[in-house]
Amino acid sequence: MKTARIMAAIVLVLAGAAALGAHYLAPAGYEQQFRMSPDAPPSTQHLLGTDDLGRDRMARLLYGTRVSLFLAPIAAGIATILAAFFGGMAGYFGGWVERCALLFVDLFLSIPWLFLLITVRAVLPLNISPQNSVIITFLLLGFLGWAASARVICAGTKELMKSEFVWLARASGFSGFKLIRLHLMPNLRGTLLAQFWISVPVFIITEANLGALGLGVTEPLPSLGSLLGELQSVIVLRPHPWQFLPLVILIVVVSCFQTLLNSSEVRT
């Protein structure tokens, strides 16, 4: 497993370096349109071919990876922190605090947030840059994507509050934030890490789906999600193998995250 973790770290560092060094690895850039060769197969000039508008796929993949891999973990972190806050608070205090918090969580899970997102788009200026648009989208996802996990964390917190070591800690004078930080959160690590790991690819994909509402990345900036979205129009009728590369990249990155986030296995 140690080898696996090292390998995963190397892959992530390489992916990150490639994404950051996109300008050097793909000097054509993500927006230049080679209009005489749209939808071209891989060649020496375009290692992964070109898309429907003749843009270099390699460049778009590198820049798209940069956008998504930088922003999605931040959004996932926000969602995890919010889930920990609401779920932890509900489980810690119990009683009416728990009831109100869980009521809020259930409402949050049921409301059609689609219309809030449409409203947000309307409020944003029309001339917002693609970079700012995608940042705002990921932030929104972070603030809206925490509710499912909060319940699980609440249940975990309640169980921990009944455990002997927490009783001992409380008897020793630990309470409030210190108790949460030193005794509760570490024992909820598994749930929190699960939330984080799930959120990264889900947010990447959701950002692309929000393109139907006018949010997310806008032309010409690519994101991993928007490149994945292109698969929809090719998957049914003769897709080319290189069109699956964004999916492969995401699977590899997500698997590497998973390997790194796992704590050591128990071996007997």
Partner 1 sequence: MKRLLWISVLLFLAVPLFAQSGGELRFSIYSEPKTFHPLRTEEISSDTIRYLTSGVLLRLDRITQKAEPELATSWKVLDGGKRIRFTLRQGVHFSDGTPFSAADVAYTVQQLMDPDLHSTTGDAFRSGSGKVVTRVVSPGEIEIIFAAPVAGLAELFDTVAMLSAQSPQKEMAVAGPFYVAEHRAGSYILLKKNPYYWKKDSAGRQLPYLDSIRLDIQQNDEIQALRYSRGEIHLINRVAPGIFDKLAAQGTAVQDVGVSTDTEFLWFNQVANAPIADYKRAWFASANFRRAVSEAINRDDLARVAFHQHASPAVGIVSPVNRFWFNSKLVRHPYDPASALRRLQQDGFHLDNGVLRDKTGHEVEFAITARAGDEARQQMAAMIQQDLKKIGVKVNIAPVEMSALIERITTSFNYEACLAGHTRVTLDPNAQMNIWLSSADTHQWNPAQKSPATPWEAEIDKLMRAQASSSDERERKKYWDRVQEIAWEQEPFIYLVNKHTLVAIAPSIKNAQPSTLYPQAFWNVEHLSLNH
Partner 2 sequence: MWRTLGLALLRLAGIMLLAGLLGGTLIRVAPGFAADERQLDSNLSSQSIQAVRQARLSDSNIPRFYAGYLASLVRGDLGTSQMLNQPIRDLLRERLPITLRNLALAVLLAWVMGLALAAATQLTGSRLLTSTAEGLSGTFISTPAAVLALVFVLLRLPPELAAALLVFPKIYRYCHNLLRQGYDRPHVLTALAKGAGRWRVLVWHVAPVSLPQMLALLGVSISLAIGVLLPIEAICDVSGIGQLAWQAATGRDLPLLVNLTLVVTFLTASATMFSDLARKTMTRSEV
Q: What does the binding site for partner 1 look like in residue numbers (CB under 8 A)?
A: 31-33, 35, 38, 52-54, 118, 121-122, 126-130, 211-214, 218-220, 232-233, 235-238
Minimum distance from residue 29 beta carbon to partner 1 (Å)? 11
Minimum distance from residue 28 beta carbon to partner 2 (Å)? 27
| Dihedral of alpha carbons 159, 165, 169, 171, sign | positive
From 7, 10, 43, 106, residue interacting with partner 2 (rule: CB under 8 A)? 106
Q: Cβ distance 206 to 214 under 8 Å? A: no
- Taking residue 107's Cβ as centre, other Cβ atoms within 10 Å add up to 10
Report the distance separating Cα 239 and Cα 69, nearest Å.
25
Cβ proximity to partner 1: between 147 and 217 the closer is: 217
Q: What is the 3-state secondary structure (H, E, C) of 42-82?
A: CCCCCCCCECCCCCEHHHHHHHHHHHHHHHHHHHHHHHHHH
Closest CA to 252 of 9, 3, 2: 9
Stretch that binds partner 2, among 20-28, 72-80, 150-158, 215-223 (CB under 8 A): 150-158
C-alpha distances (whole Å) from 188 to each of 82, 151, 267 are 14, 12, 21
Tell me the HSE value of 153 on the side-chain side, using a 13 A CA sphere.
34
267 touching partner 2, by CB under 8 A:
yes
Closest CA to 45 of 32, 230, 246: 32
* Contact partner, 194, from partner 2, partner 1, none, Cβ < 5-8 Å per class: partner 2
Cβ proximity to partner 2: between 20 and 202 the closer is: 202
Minimum distance from residue 191 beta carbon to partner 2 (Å)? 6
* Contact partner, 54, from partner 1, partner 2, none, Cβ < 5-8 Å per class: partner 1
Stretch that binds partner 2, among 48-56, 67-75, 172-180, 192-200 (CB under 8 A): 192-200
Minimum distance from residue 222 beta carbon to partner 1 (Å)? 11
Return the bridge partners of 56, or none. 50
76 touching partner 2, by CB under 8 A:
no
Cβ proximity to partner 1: between 163 and 233 the closer is: 233
From 59, 79, 84, 250, residue interacting with partner 2 (rule: CB under 8 A)? 250
Cβ proximity to partner 1: between 17 and 235 the closer is: 235
Closest CA to 87 of 173, 8, 152: 152
